[in-house]
A = this chain, B = another copy of it.
Amino acid sequence: MSIVVVGSIALDSVKTPYGEKKEALGGSALYFSSAASFFTKVSLVGVIGQDFPRGDIAFLARRGVDLSGLETAKGQTFRWSGSYQGDMNQAQTHDTRLNVFEQFHPKLGPAHRKIPHVFLANIHPSLQREVIAEMGTPKAIGCDTMNFWITSARSELLKTIRLVDIMFLNDAEVRQLSGETNLVRAAAAIRRMGPKVLVIKKGEHGAMLFSKYGVFAIPALPLEKVFDPTGAGDSFAGGFMGYLASQGRISDAILRRAMVYGSVMASFNVEKFSLDRLKTLKKSEITARYKQFKELTRFEA
């Protein structure tokens, strides 16, 4: 089974208490693809500018990622710069330059349309819906968004969410979108908007899953150094959706394991700047960290 992801490809300039990196690989689709490629065949759909250092994503091709949907447009690649302070739970955006992303409309080839799983990374909700309209009848549509769209494109977002199977949001977004402070009631409200499955990402506090099977919750792996949280949510979604796509079906046990794989990939991602950790990661390290999550959370009945 395989998955197609549509999202941003960026050059990020990030400053954290541990250092600074300029114009490094970033963007939701790159983080997602890097993480998901350990579990399943990934097709990446997105746009880069003529200035993009294509050689830097050669590792994705080596990992079997299909880059035929990677369009090069005239102009500069999307750029984001930001910083993290203190407990690093929240990025401060310094600058966002959409550049080639401003005119972007996802172009799916005939092969892409038959792919059974889709992940709509954080882009304008109307673009996300364009992708859904182009797809055949996928087995599962995953979707991410952000506070900006919840505020500025709420009705568009609600139309998109209606068509989505698995929604990924952080706890602040869940509260903002539902208007509910209590997460249990907020989750129920969002599942009534369409998604059968809701994943709530809580950063250092772990993640929660709401589905017809009930609730599952997992703490984050306590890390001594969170180097750069950028892309943690997309790495989580990559691990989750990648594992799900590899299984080709949804069950309670599979969703729970997907949550652990999501947490595993996010925990690696934050250990270095940009994609640096996911780039060098080995399958054996993923297996070892899955066991570490088991050790972290096990208790006897």
Q: Which residues of A contact B (CB under 8 A)?
A: 86-87, 181-185, 187, 202, 204-206, 208, 214-220, 222-226, 253, 256-257, 259-260, 290-291, 294-301
Known: A205-B206, A219-B218, A219-B219. A87 touches B300 (CB 8 A): no
Known: A202-B205, A222-B215. A300 touches B181 (CB 8 A): no
Q: Which of B182, B224, B297, B300 contacts A225 (CB 8 A)?
A: B182
Besides A216-B296, A257-B300, 18 other A-B contacts (C-beta < 8 A): A183-B222, A184-B224, A205-B205, A206-B217, A208-B219, A215-B222, A216-B297, A216-B299, A217-B222, A217-B296, A217-B297, A218-B219, A218-B297, A219-B219, A256-B300, A257-B299, A290-B301, A294-B299
Copies of chain A in the complex: 2
Q: How far is B298's CA from A256's CA once the two chains are assembled, in angstroms? A: 8
In this complex, what residue of B is CB-closest to A213? B295
- The smallest beta-carbon distance between A288 and chain B, in angstroms, is 12
Which residues of B sit under 8 angstroms from A259, Cβ to Cβ?
A: 299
In this complex, what residue of B is CB-closest to A260? B299
Which residues of B sit under 8 angstroms from A181, Cβ to Cβ?
A: 86-87
Contact across chains for B222 and A219 when beta carbons are under 8 A apart:
no
Known: A205-B205, A205-B206, A206-B206. A185 touches B224 (CB 8 A): yes
**A–B pairs, 15, beta carbons within 8 Å:** A184-B223, A185-B224, A187-B222, A205-B205, A208-B222, A216-B296, A217-B220, A217-B297, A218-B219, A218-B297, A253-B299, A257-B300, A259-B299, A260-B299, A290-B301
Which residues of B sit under 8 angstroms from A301, Cβ to Cβ?
A: 290-291, 294
Q: Which of B215, B223, B291, B296 contacts A296 (CB 8 A)?
A: B215
